[in-house]
């Protein structure tokens, strides 16, 4: 039971127990304070029951929440409890989530009860400018058998979020703690009935829980010819700098399945471009981007099409 609760909250074991203690302290303090206020107001068994009930409900609705936030703040858990309170306020209709960046709470908790989507819903995980995400979205617009249903991002200021907004695609902003030590946001992905995941400039390693839930259904694009110039720390301009420093006369892109090791999943597609003498990392990056934009969308399409065969 504790394990499930911990997963639901998306916290580490240590943080889980701190939260547990805070809830305990809050409950005890609220009860003691209610008793103190009752006697301070001179209420006893003979007092009108409605006043006593109103006091208790008021303490539960407001006092409890304030005390919870206070303990949360004192024990370094403000972020968790503030989010908890905001959720409560959203449910009560007092607080509205910002549009564009939404953390959707699964509305239909049991995905088995949902009507299956005739188009394969794809999630794109991206944390950068999102030019690849944009190309894929445009390429698949109006497709008969697949659609980009969700953009998952870990940076609140990433360009890909505005691209999603322009195209009316829901976004999910994720946090490290829950992604790596919680349920990896599987509940949300299931809520959107996601069947395929495309990493397009997503720098975090994909947790095992997600790889297990989507076997051979997660693909990534890498801006070099794997197996060379891949692995931990090899991303963005670092890749192009390494290629040039090694004196390579060609580079390219690799689209591959994602497994539990960085950039080591089975390759699906590669395309090459020359590295001219005197090319700067920035110039090489431009050539690579051009290859990505040209081949990534159709590779996504072909790979997803195989799912239905």
Stretch that binds ligand GRF, among 34-42, 58-66, 127-135, 183-191 (CB under 6 A): 127-135
Locate 119 and state its tokens: 């188009």
Quote the DSSP letter at residue 102: B
If 0-12 CB within 10 Å is exposed, 13-18 middle and 19+ buried, where does residue 28 land? exposed
- Any contact of residue 137 with ligand GRF (CB under 6 A)? no
Of residues 1 through 30, those in contact with ligand GRF by CB under 6 A are none
- 222 has catalytic annotation: yes
Number of residues that bind ligand GRF (CB under 6 A): 15
Pull the structure tokens for residue 56: 């208790």
Closest by alpha carbon to 256, among 282, 224, 283?
224
* Closest distance of CB 220 from ligand GRF, Å: 7
Part of the chain binding ligand GRF (CB under 6 A), chosen from 81-89, 131-139, 165-173, 204-212 = 131-139
Q: Is 290 helix (H, G, I), strand (E, B) or coil?
A: helix
H/E/C letters for each residue in 229-262? CCCCCCCCHHHHHHHHHCCCCEEEEEEEECCCCC
Report the nearest approach of ligand GRF to the CB of residue 130 (Å): 5
- Give the contact letters, 169-208, x = binds to ligand GRF (CB under 6 A), - = no: -------------------------------xx-------
- Give residues with Cβ within 8 angstroms of 231, minimum separation 6: 262, 263, 264
Q: How far is the CB of 124 from ligand GRF (least distance, A)?
A: 9
Nearer CB in complex with ligand GRF: 130/182? 130
Binding to ligand GRF (CB under 6 A) within 205-244 occurs at: 221-223
**CA nearest neighbour of 304 among 264, 272, 267, 257:** 257
> Where along the sequence are the contacts to ligand GRF (CB under 6 A)?
126, 128-133, 200-201, 221-223, 288-289, 292
* Residues designated as active site: 222
């Amino acid at each position: 039971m504790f394990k499930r609760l911990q997963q639901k909250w998306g916290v580490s074991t240590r943080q889980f127990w701190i939260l547990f203690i805070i809830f305990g302290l809050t409950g005890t303090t609220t009860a003691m304070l209610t008793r103190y206020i009752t006697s301070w107001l001179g209420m006893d068994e003979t007092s009108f029951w409605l006043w006593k009930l109103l006091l208790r409900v008021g303490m539960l609705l407001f006092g409890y929440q304030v005390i919870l936030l206070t303990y949360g703040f004192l024990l370094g858990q403000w972020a968790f409890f503030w989010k908890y309170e905001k959720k409560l306020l959203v449910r009560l209709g007092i607080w509205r989530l910002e549009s564009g960046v939404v953390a959707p709470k699964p509305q239909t908790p049991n995905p088995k009860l949902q009507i299956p989507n005739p188009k394969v819903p794809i999630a794109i995980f991206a944390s950068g400018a999102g030019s690849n995400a944009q190309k894929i979205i445009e390429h698949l617009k109006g497709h008969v058998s697949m659609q980009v249903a969700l953009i998952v991002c870990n940076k609140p200021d990433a360009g890909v979020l505005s691209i999603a907004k322009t195209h009316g695609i829901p976004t999910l902003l994720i946090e490290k703690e829950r992604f790596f030590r919680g349920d990896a946001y599987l509940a949300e992905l299931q809520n959107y009935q996601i069947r395929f995941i495309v990493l397009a400039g997503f720098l975090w390693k994909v947790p095992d829980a997600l790889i297990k839930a989507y076997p051979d259904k997660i693909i990534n694009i890498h801006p070099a010819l794997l197996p060379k110039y891949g692995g931990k720390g090899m991303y963005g301009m670092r890749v192009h700098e390494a290629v040039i420093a090694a004196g390579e006369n060609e580079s390219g892109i690799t689209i591959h399945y994602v497994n539990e090791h960085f950039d080591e999943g089975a390759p699906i597609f590669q395309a090459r471009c020359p590295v001219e003498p005197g090319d700067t990392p920035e110039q090489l990056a431009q050539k690579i981007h051009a290859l990505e934009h040209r081949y990534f969308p159709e590779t996504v399409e072909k790979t997803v099409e195989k799912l239905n065969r």
